[in-house]
């Protein structure tokens, strides 16, 4: 009996889920770096800590349903890595003690294009400003 209403609910929610605008994160730094080199795009590297409330909040508030998300997906290769997974990215390059940290990186030279954003500095306005500086 409950299956039928559940199906209708899913059918009703489906268009809203499809219209959600979110960053298409890659989860492997090496693959993201190779893709960035191949496509001649910079990297957007977000270093988070597992089970960190601020990291979760930043991902939800700053990288979903924001007007600049399409620009990130079009012009950059976004990759999200966890601090605990230090073998999955060059920690010497992305070393930080503040989580989350957002890096804007030239994929060819592996140098920073803009100063990183740390912790509570990662806000919609600060991300949008950095993107405008990079792509305008």
Q: Report domain extents, the chain.
A: 21-135
| 105 close to 63: Cβ distance less than 8 angstroms | no
Question: How is residue 67 written in tokens?
Answer: 């007007």
Q: 21-135 in CATH: which number?
A: 3.40.30.10
Which CA distances in Å does 63 have to 6, 20, 22, 134? 29, 11, 6, 18
Q: Does the pLDDT at position 4 exceed 80?
A: no
Which pLDDT tens digit goes with each residue over 58-97? 999 999 999 999 999 999 999 999 988 766 788 788 889 9
pLDDT at position 10: 47
Residue 51 φ/ψ region, left for φ over 0, alpha for ψ in the -120 to 50 degree band, beta for the rest: left
Confidence grade of residue 8 (pLDDT, cut at 50, 70, 90): very low
Q: What is the pTM of this model?
A: 0.83
Nearest by Cα to 42 from 22, 72, 83: 72
pLDDT at position 11: 52
More reliable by pLDDT, 102 or 13:
102
Which pLDDT tens digit goes with each residue over 92-114? 888 899 999 999 999 999 999 99
């Amino acid at each position: 009996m409950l299956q039928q209403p559940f199906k209708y609910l899913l059918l009703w929610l489906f268009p809203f889920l499809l219209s959600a605008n979110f960053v298409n994160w890659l989860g492997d730094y090496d693959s993201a770096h190779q893709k960035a080199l191949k496509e001649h795009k910079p990297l957007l590297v977000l270093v988070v800590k597992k089970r960190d409330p601020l990291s979760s909040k930043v991902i939800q508030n700053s990288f979903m349903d924001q007007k600049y998300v399409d620009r990130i997906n079009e012009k950059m290769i976004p990759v999200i890595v966890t601090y605990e997974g230090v073998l999955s990215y060059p920690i010497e390059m992305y070393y930080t003690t503040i989580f989350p940290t957002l890096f804007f990186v030239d994929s060819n030279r592996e140098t920073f294009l803009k100063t990183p954003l740390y912790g509570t500095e990662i806000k919609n306005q600060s991300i949008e400003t950095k993107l405008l500086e990079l792509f305008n």
